[in-house]
Chains A and B, each alone.
Chain A
Amino acid sequence: MADFTLSVNGSDKKVSVSPETPLLWVLRDTLEMTGTKFGCGAGLCGACTVLIDGAARRSCKTQVSQVVGKQITTIEGLGASGLHPLQQAWIDEDVPQCGYCQVGQIMSAAALLKKNPHPTDDDISNAMEGNLCRCGTYQRIRKAIHRAAGDNVVVANSGGAR
């Protein structure tokens, strides 16, 4: 066990855990912030994505000792005042189905827009490739990212009744 002070969503949090503990479990079990999800424990699905100094990182493969002195942003702190534009776009496009992967999707998208405010479809594919969704919400995720970027991109015919 060791003591760490973490900067999470702009405030300092003191935790006492073993140094190799993944950030994911510190967030979920110790700090009781359960917005960040466990999906694979191996950095393969992206459900646990958080921002570390603004970049998307898999918290299940990030040891707590590696993030001391860095700015950690989770879904709980993404929209500093109210909803982040991505969260609003996610609501406007009604993206989630089961919703379990969506926090990780939004965090990856937030990192993308920070670097690249007007991503192309290829940019989106590249940035979101690490985030799995079993319900199959990808098409709406793409639309929501374009919407949050303020880009009027026609992604696909939305179908509907005959």
Chain B
Amino acid sequence: MKNDVFTFLVGGKAGEGVKKAGSVVAHIFSRMGRYVFQMDDYMSLIRGGHNFSVVSTSTRWISSQYMNANLIVNFDKRSSQVHNNDIAENGIVVFNSDEQEDVEGIGIPLSSEADKYTMKKLMYGVGAVAILASTIGFKKSEMNDIIKNEYPSGIEDNIKFADTIYDLVKNECENKFPLEKGDKERVIITGNESISLGAVAGGLNAYYGYPMTPASTILHFLARHAKEFGLAVVHAENELAVINMAIGSAFSGAKSMVGTSGGGFALMTEGFSLAGMTEAPVLVVLSQRPGPATGVPTYTEQADLSFALTAGHGDFLRIVASPGTIEDAYYLASEMLELVWKFQTPGILLTEKHLSESSMTVEINVEDAKWAEPKLHQGGEYKRYLNTEDGVSPLLFPPSKEIIKWDSYEHNEHGITTEDAQTIQFMHNKRGKKINALIDYLKNKTTVNITQGEHPLNIFSYGSTYMSVLEALKYGKINPTVIQPIYLNPLPIWELEKFKDQKNIVVEQSFTGQFSNLLKEKAGIPIKAIIKKYDGRPFDPIELYTRIKEVAE
């Protein structure tokens, strides 16, 4: 099957600039007006091992990397071995002839050339960019402009090295894959950047985090931009501190967010429950990686869904939603911040490493972000937990002459601890009203993305797997109906009911099929087949298309 996608793959050891080379190449494509999707695969180590970056590009919207690459640059022998089967028909493999001989492809003495420079192995990435530049028909001058911008330290050496590599591969690579220009240049961002910006657009004032892959880059990005956005960004001692600081900040009136992965969120569940009881608006970004326990830190999975839906002890409203694309992550982060403040309850923006850390060309309508605006006390005697029609009590922040008491014990409307039977029941009912209020509110919103197809088949997915599904269908040129619930709690059964009597399949990245179970149990959706993947890697569109075709027949 002919593919309208060009894919570049570069692999080597950590510390050799693999990811940077991928990013530079992605920018070359985006500057050509093309769409880009970049996925970085890296191990949990600082130096050595095997890392690779895959950049797929097309003149149409593209939402996944393809492992089937047209150009592969291997910095070392291990990379050659790992990516031995990843080469597309008529593709080019460039390998490091200082490390191996007798392999198919174009051998260049990458190590001995790089050793001539003080930066040594740090030059490899520059070499990879030079190879790509030659392959897509860039002139040296065009390439050197890019090298200057993207590798600003030691420019002269970098250009000299790039020129050398360019000349070495020229005969076999030059203009082998001329790429069509696209319509316009677009910005490339990661999912975590999109989430961060969406939260800021929604009114974020404080972010708390403890480093944990794949959520750490939210902490880094917001720390870097804290001053310009007027944020407090804090790296605390552990996740227990993180969630409790966020709740304390919410009490003072700050729109607060925290970010972590499964293990960190496990520690946060105590505070998550406190947010349920105190009715503290707090947004948690839970970026999944393979579990249980430490699992596989730098890879992807969707096995924390059940955990997220029931996290924290006790009965309380947890809003859980998951963005399907890197663009949607921006809007959803702002909307989730809006909702946790509107309904004064904790929420989880559930995502995965694959969305958090992959990057793609996006077009974001910045002003479409929601803005968190709580219901505020309008004067008179203040009761923190005033019983209202929708269960949402007006907020008031210190300093105030009125007394504002938030309480982790069951409490009366004033926020004073109680053990009285009637009051306990009364307050459960009061908080419980927020569930229906939220459902009523969401009924007028987009809670499920449904793309009506012609093929008599419905494909359900959520989170980043939605991007994989869309790309697989584009690759295979088939169009079943695609359904992506954005909200997972409350699950929008009012939108899903119509699929009850149809042929449904689910694509998800969990061993037990947690998403399928949710659809079955909560929405009564019969599921004909589940396409699962639980090896830590995101779906490849070709592989996924093949599996969809199998179950569709």
Q: Do A and B bind each other?
A: no
